[in-house]
């Protein structure tokens, strides 16, 4: 089926290429004159002397367009709601090679103000995204890409992880290329970033399990020759004795003619910690009597790992219409040491029956991953062709030694696990102007094959040896058109999945299933007076991670086991979004409905107080409303960026509880979250920049968990740039000054309840130094395929 589909697509492509090969072409770009950046989704038309529109197109996300028409004299006209029309006379002869630039100004009748460059990040709504211009704004000198993203409207830092507010962790793209390692964001300096698009509700072009996307566009540096960038960061923790070299990234680039050769070498080494107080236990009925079995104690975890991540590739810009290239990446851990100490009392009906002190040490002798991408991007006539082929190969092996001292049954345990997986994918996207808009159609296919084994010297935990296979084919279409009253986009995506799980230890666990899903998307953007407004709706599916589909039972500690479930269903999501911008204010809201939500669920495993934590689907439908308002004005040297947010979940679960006469009860998770983020940047003379940043998050419900105490953090930083074009930059930061970002949560599973704190010991002093010589960004245009499968690996 998949081969026939691709063959049909290629035959269609060949026919279109043949028919369009002799067309006269006009190319160009539409520029927002105020923001000095590209204007996406503007309408461009070739108009004859009798006012007849001969052909039209819509600009892409880079503001570029291409129109094919018979040779003649025309007027080229660009229009966009809220802007004055821009026109230029053109003559098509069939041998044209000029690129026409059309500058569009905001209509003074709708926008009565002038935005001054370098005063504030200009945030607008364009197409499916909230777009923040970085060049010429206060964010231009804020550090690296991570520092920029933490301050962009719509982003939130939760426990050290960047998320799209209300939508979770995003997929990142830099110039269309998917980010596969953190080093790409670490080494991308803010001076090289042109804009950031936050897409909270992506449409049909993205995989069914992609909930949100952040697209980063870089400046296109001119010139050829050799360039490099070297960035290094070190950290001294203030709550312990450790000093981390953190990471060092060397980026190399060489350009000559149409060729672009690039490479990267990353070395990293860092600690992570967790100190927790844990109180949890099972509540069962035995022989008509209630029996409680409680674990009460502490957990201390320390991880120290490091590795190297080299990559290299090449890009060939054949001409303005055609380019191709490849990229190979390798990542491996050179060391990986984990140590977990648990000190617990085991209390039965209020009486301490055992005290367990355990030390678990984990070694990872094998942890490596190869990824590769090859692409072609070209234009023939009116048709744009983008093709990507990807592969990924990953392997990991863990060895765990556990020493448990106990009043009753001390034990020494050893376990080992190994996983080996490979993935191949291809994606073809064709773009063609239709009427006043642009039509995109395409296909995406991926194949995954993975094995996993696990064994432990404990009789009640069976050995595991299983294999997963998954073959996915998707077809999608999206049409975008700019009309006098606004921009309209509609899309539809179809995905077919063949999944097979084979258990070599227990054939009764074997599973084969086929899934077919349709994912619609629709959006509309317009201007109401001075306010830009966007509405959108999408349907998505979150497939289980491949780890969650594993049936192996792993040993956490004497009273906690973990496992997955090969029979997990996919999570179905439906999301409606409303966004608006006015001057320096940005507003966004989302309403989400989730069916078959995937979570980890704890239940009693036996009569000895052991708990099994297993992935499962939530039977009840989960609703969530979230919203935020961002203000980014400028007051002298002070550049505040304040965000207030609110999130309200709605989940009512029926949980099994043997203490109840009916055998079950209702647990509700409806507590709202209130969020405040204040970023204060002070831009001083001689390239000095000071920042005082504060974040507060209230108590809240997060799916099945209740966060029972608020968290907050205060960060301070000072930055100074030197040399021409600020090539050398020093940044000194004090992170989480008061060590107040400590999480406290409780989860009620019915027959099992747990209360836990989590202190990650984040406070520290961080020094980052970067030097850029003749800085150039790679011209690589590969967008990647099979991204949803990669993330699940």
Burial level of 593, CB count in 10 A (0-12/13-18/19+)?
middle
Q: How many residues does the chain have?
A: 793
In percent, how much of the chain has pLDDT > 90?
50
Residue 460 pLDDT class (50, 70, 90 cuts): confident
pLDDT tens, position by position, 67-113: 877 778 888 988 876 678 889 988 877 665 567 889 988 765 433 33
Band of residue 521 on the pLDDT scale cut at 50, 70, 90: very high
Query: Above 70 in pLDDT, residue 512?
Result: yes
**CA pair distance 40, 285, nearest whole angstrom:** 64
Read off the pLDDT of residues 465-491 as tens digits, 9 standing for 90 and up: 989 899 999 999 999 998 888 889 999
Q: Which helix (H) or strand (E) holds 5?
A: helix 2-20
Helix, strand, coil shares of the chain as percentages rounded to 5? 5, 65, 30
pLDDT class of 180 with cuts at 50, 70, 90: low
**Lookup result for tokens 């009273």:** 559
pLDDT computed for residue 382 by the predictor: 85
Q: How confident is the model at residue 567 (pLDDT cuts 50, 70, 90)?
A: confident
Rounded Cα–Cα distance for residues 65 and 59 (Å) = 5
* pLDDT on residue 7: 46
Better pLDDT: 607 or 480? 480
Residue 34 has pLDDT above 90, yes or no: no
Q: What is the mean pLDDT of residues 450-478?
A: 92
Q: Which residue has the higher pLDDT, 222 or 507?
A: 507
What integer pLDDT is reported at residue 695 of this predicted model? 93
Question: Is 82 within 8 Å of 34 (Cβ atoms)?
Answer: no
Q: Is 619 exposed, middle or buried (0-12, 13-18, 19+ CB in 10 A)?
A: exposed
- Cβ count near 485 (within 10 Å): 10
Per-residue tokens: 747: 């989860």
Specify the pLDDT at position 574.
95
Separation CA 513–CA 497 (nearest Å): 8
> Which helix (H) or strand (E) segment is 10 a member of?
helix 2-20
pLDDT at 13 over 50: no
Whether 4 shows a pLDDT value over 50: the answer reads no
Of 105-114, 369-378, 495-504, the one with minimum mean pLDDT is 105-114
Amino acid 751: pLDDT? 93
For residue 451, the surrounding DSSP H or E stretch is: strand 437-456
Q: Residue 544: count other Cβ atoms within 10 Å of its Cβ.
A: 23
Mean pLDDT score across all residues of the chain: 86
| Dist CA 104 CA 522 (whole Å) | 27
Measured distance CA(473)–CA(468) in Å, rounded: 17
Among candidate residues 294, 293, 295, 297, the one with its CA nearest the CA of residue 276? 297
CB 153 within 8 Å of CB 130: yes
pLDDT of res. 9: 46
Give residue-wise pLDDT tens across range 299-355. 999 999 999 999 999 999 898 789 999 999 999 999 999 999 999 999 999 999 999
Highest mean pLDDT among 6-15, 87-96, 254-263, 539-548: 254-263
Would you say 99 and 28 are in contact if contact means Cβ atoms under 8 Å apart?
A: yes
Q: What is the mean pLDDT of residues 743-766?
A: 92
**For residues 454 and 505, is the Cβ–Cβ distance under 8 A?**
no
Q: What is the pLDDT of residue 589?
A: 96
Lowest mean pLDDT among 108-117, 202-211, 584-593, 782-791: 108-117
Q: Find residue 635's DSSP bridge partners.
A: 638
What is residue 661's DSSP assignment?
T
Residues 347 and 361: their CA atoms lie apart, in Å, by: 26
- Statement: residue 22 has pLDDT above 70: no
Q: What confidence category does residue 423 fall into, taking pLDDT thresholds of 50, 70 and 90? A: very high
Q: Strands of 73-79's sheet, edge to edge?
A: 53-58, 43-47, 73-79, 86-91
Cβ atoms of residues 268 and 309 within 8 Å: yes
Cα-Cα-Cα-Cα dihedral sign, residues 239, 184, 430, 63: positive
What's the whole-number mean pLDDT along residues 630-638? 89
Which residues neighbour 112 within 8 Å (Cβ) at sequence distance 6 or greater?
530
pLDDT of residue 192: 81
Mean pLDDT across 33-42 = 73
Confidence of residue 783 (pLDDT cuts 50, 70, 90): low
Residue 340 and residue 299 in contact, taking contact as beta carbons nearer than 8 Å = yes
Q: Provide mean pLDDT across the span 247-266.
A: 90
pLDDT at 763 over 80: yes
pLDDT of amino acid 98: 64
Measured CA to CA, the distance from residue 281 to residue 300 in angstroms comes to 19
Of 294, 221, 225, 223, which is closest to residue 254 (Cα–Cα)? 225
Which element (helix H / strand E) includes 792?
helix 787-792
DSSP 459: T
Closest CA to 540 of 200, 135, 128: 200
Q: Which two tokens stand for residue 693?
A: 């940043």
DSSP states of 97-159: --EEEEEE-B-TTT--S-PPTTSS--EEEETTEEEEE-TTSGGGGS-BHHHHHTTSTTEEEET
**What confidence score (pLDDT) does residue 428 get?**
95
**The pLDDT of residue 135:** 83
**C-beta of residue 15 within 8 angstroms of C-beta of residue 385:** no
Residue with the bigger pLDDT between 645 and 62: it is 645
pLDDT of 746 over the 90 cut: yes
| pLDDT score of 345 | 96
Q: Choose among 52, 54, 81, 49: nearest CA to 67.
A: 54
Which residues, in sequence order, are CB contacts of 3 under 8 Å at separation 6+? none
What beta strand segments (E) does 209-258 contain?
A: 213-218, 225-237, 243-256
3 state SS of 507: helix
Q: How many CB atoms lie within 10 A of CB 287?
A: 5
Backbone φ and ψ for 59, nearest 5 degrees, come out as -70, 150
Mean pLDDT of the 431-457 span: 92
Most distant pair of Cα atoms in the chain: their distance = 96
Assess contact for 430 and 383: CB atoms under 8 A: yes
User: What pLDDT is stored for residue 49 in this prediction?
Assistant: 75
Rounded CA gap, 531 and 527, in Å?
A: 6
pLDDT of residue 117: 34
Query: Three-class SS of residue 16?
Result: helix
Q: Check if the beta carbon of residue 134 is closer than 8 Å to that of residue 196.
A: yes
Q: Which of 52, 50, 44 is nearest to 26 (CA)?
A: 44
Per-position b or e across 252-272, b if 16+ CB within 10 A of its CB = ebbbeeeebbbbbebbbbebe
**Quick one: pLDDT band at residue 792, thresholds 50, 70, 90?**
low
Three-class SS state of 183? helix
Instruction: State mean pLDDT over 680-699.
Output: 93
Asked if pLDDT for residue 528 goes beyond 80, the answer is yes
């Amino acid at each position: 089926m998949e081969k026939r589909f691709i063959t049909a697509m290629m035959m269609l492509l060949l026919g279109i290429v043949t028919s369009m090969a002799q067309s006269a072409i006009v190319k160009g770009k539409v520029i927002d004159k105020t923001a000095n950046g590209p204007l996406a989704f503007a309408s461009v038309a070739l108009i004859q002397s009798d006012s007849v529109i001969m052909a039209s197109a819509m600009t892409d996300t880079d503001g570029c367009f291409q129109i094919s028409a018979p040779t003649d004299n025309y007027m080229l006209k660009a229009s966009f709601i809220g802007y004055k029309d821009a026109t230029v006379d053109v003559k098509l002869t069939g041998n044209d090679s000029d690129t026409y630039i059309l500058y569009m100004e905001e209509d003074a009748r709708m926008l009565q103000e002038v935005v001054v460059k370098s005063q504030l990040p200009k945030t607008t709504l364009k197409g499916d995204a909230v777009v923040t211009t970085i060049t010429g704004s206060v964010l231009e000198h804020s550090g690296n890409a991570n520092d920029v993203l933490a301050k962009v409207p719509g982003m939130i830092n939760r426990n050290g992880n960047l998320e799209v507010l209300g939508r979770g962790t995003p997929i990142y793209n830099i110039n269309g290329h998917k980010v596969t390692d953190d080093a790409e964001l670490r080494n991308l300096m803010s001076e090289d970033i042109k804009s950031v698009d936050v897409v909270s509700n992506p449409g049909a072009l993205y995989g069914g399990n992609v909930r949100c996307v952040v697209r980063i566009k870089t400046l296109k540096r001119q010139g050829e020759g050799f360039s490099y960038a070297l960035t290094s960061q070190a950290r001294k923790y203030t709550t312990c004795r450790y000093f981390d070299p953190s990471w060092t990234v060397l980026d190399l680039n060489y350009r000559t003619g149409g060729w672009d050769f690039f490479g990267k070498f990353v070395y990293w080494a860092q600690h992570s910690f967790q100190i927790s107080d844990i109180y949890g236990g099972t509540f069962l009925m035995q022989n008509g009597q209630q029996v409680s079995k409680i674990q009460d104690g502490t957990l201390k975890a320390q991880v120290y790992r490091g590795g190297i991540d080299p990559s290299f590739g090449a890009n060939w810009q054949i001409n303005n219409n055609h380019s191709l290239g490849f990229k190979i990446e390798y990542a491996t851990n050179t060391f990986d040491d984990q140590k977990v100490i648990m000190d617990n009392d085991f209390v039965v009906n209020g009486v301490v029956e055992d005290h367990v002190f355990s030390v678990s040490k984990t070694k990872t002798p094998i942890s490596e991953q190869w990824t590769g991408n090859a692409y072609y991007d070209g234009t023939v006539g009116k048709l744009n062709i983008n093709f990507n082929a990807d592969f990924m190969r990953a392997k990991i092996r863990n060895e765990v030694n556990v020493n448990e001292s106990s009043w009753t049954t001390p034990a020494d345990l050893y376990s080992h696990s190994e996983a080996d997986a490979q993935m191949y994918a291809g994606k073809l996207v064709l773009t063609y102007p239709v009427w006043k808009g642009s039509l995109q159609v395409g296909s995406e296919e991926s194949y995954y094959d993975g094995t996993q084994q696990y064994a432990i010297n404990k009789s009640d935990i069976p050995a595991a040896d299983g294999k997963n296979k998954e073959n996915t084919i998707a077809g999608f279409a999206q049409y975008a058109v700019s009309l006098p009253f606004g921009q309209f986009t509609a899309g539809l995506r179809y995905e077919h999945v063949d999944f097979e799980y084979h258990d070599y230890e227990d054939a009764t666990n074997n599973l084969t299933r086929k899934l077919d899903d349709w994912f619609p998307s629709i959006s509309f953007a317009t201007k109401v007076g001075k306010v830009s407004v966007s509405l959108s709706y999408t349907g998505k599916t979150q497939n289980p991670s491949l780890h969650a589909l594993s049936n192996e039972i792993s040993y956490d500690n004497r009273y906690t086991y973990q496992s997955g479930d090969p029979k997990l269903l996919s999570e179905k999501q439906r999301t409606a979004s409303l966004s608006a911008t006015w001057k320096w204010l940005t507003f966004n809201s989302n309403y989400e409905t989730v069916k078959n939500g995937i979570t980890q669920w704890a239940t009693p495993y036996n009569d000895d107080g052991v708990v099994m934590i297993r992935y499962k689907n939530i039977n009840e439908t989960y609703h969530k409303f979230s919203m935020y308002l961002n203000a980014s004005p400028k007051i002298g040297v002070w550049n505040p960026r304040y965000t207030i947010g609110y999130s309200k979940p709605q989940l009512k679960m029926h949980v099994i509880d043997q203490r109840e006469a009916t055998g079950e009860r209702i647990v509700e998770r409806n507590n709202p979250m209130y969020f405040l983020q204040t970023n204060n940047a002070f831009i001083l003379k001689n390239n000095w920049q000071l920042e005082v940043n504060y974040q507060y998050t209230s108590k809240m419900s997060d799916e099945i968990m209740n966060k029972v105490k608020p968290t907050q953090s205060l960060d301070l930083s000072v930055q100074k740039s030197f040399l021409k074009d600020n090539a050398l930059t020093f940044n000194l930061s004090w992170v989480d000054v008061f060590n107040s970002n400590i999480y406290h949560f409780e989860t009620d599973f019915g027959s099992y309840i747990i209360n836990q704190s989590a202190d990650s010991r984040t406070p520290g002093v961080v020094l980052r130094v970067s030097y850029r010589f003749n800085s150039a960004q790679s011209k690589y245009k590969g967008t990647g395929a099979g991204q949803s499968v990669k993330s699940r690996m």
